[in-house]
Structure 1
């Protein structure tokens, strides 16, 4: 393989969009809906999902990768609950409290 081809491959990507699993049951917590949606990756499942309330939503993705899809969904729910407890509605951005 030529040097130019090797260098070219460094700057091009053949990666496809990650496969998001959304077959998990939504969890209601303190008025919020938590939707775990683990992302399938080569190393396992990445913690990912949505936190929703009323018309607002927050995409929740973390660096954590777990080998088991169900454990990953459970971890997303656990982390989302902590985030809700700590930040409340501010997870959706500024609510004009200035």
Structure 2
């Protein structure tokens, strides 16, 4: 590959990191999805629950930034569990 194409982003596309597996908690599904930002990761997760045949979804995004993707996944699950324990189905209101 030529030097110019490398300089201007013409290299091979970067592979996306695999998404972490969902976590079940108290009848809810937590999909940790930390958001990359300035070389760190913002705590974020999607929380889902089936209620009366409909899948309800809440997106959790926190201001916290964490250096490691693995730690951000753990923190995202922790914060989602905490929110579920505190609010239950009111998350979707």
- TM-score normalized by the length of structure 1: 0.71
Root mean square deviation of aligned Cα: 1.5
Matched, 1:47 2:46: no
Runs of 4+ off more than 4 Å: none
TM-score by length of 2: 0.75
More relative contact order, 1 or 2 (CA 8 Å, 6+ apart): 2
Number of the residue aligned with 1:9:
none
More strand by share: 2
Structure 2 regions of 5+ residues with no counterpart? 1-15
Q: Hey, what's the Cα distance between the residues in 2 that align with 1:21 and 1:87? A: 31
Residue 49 of structure 1 and its aligned partner are, at CA, apart by 1.3
8 Å contact kept, 1:43–1:65: no
Q: Provide structure 1 residue ranges, at least 5 long, that are not aligned to the other structure.
A: 1-19, 94-98
CA shift for structure 1 position 22: 6.1
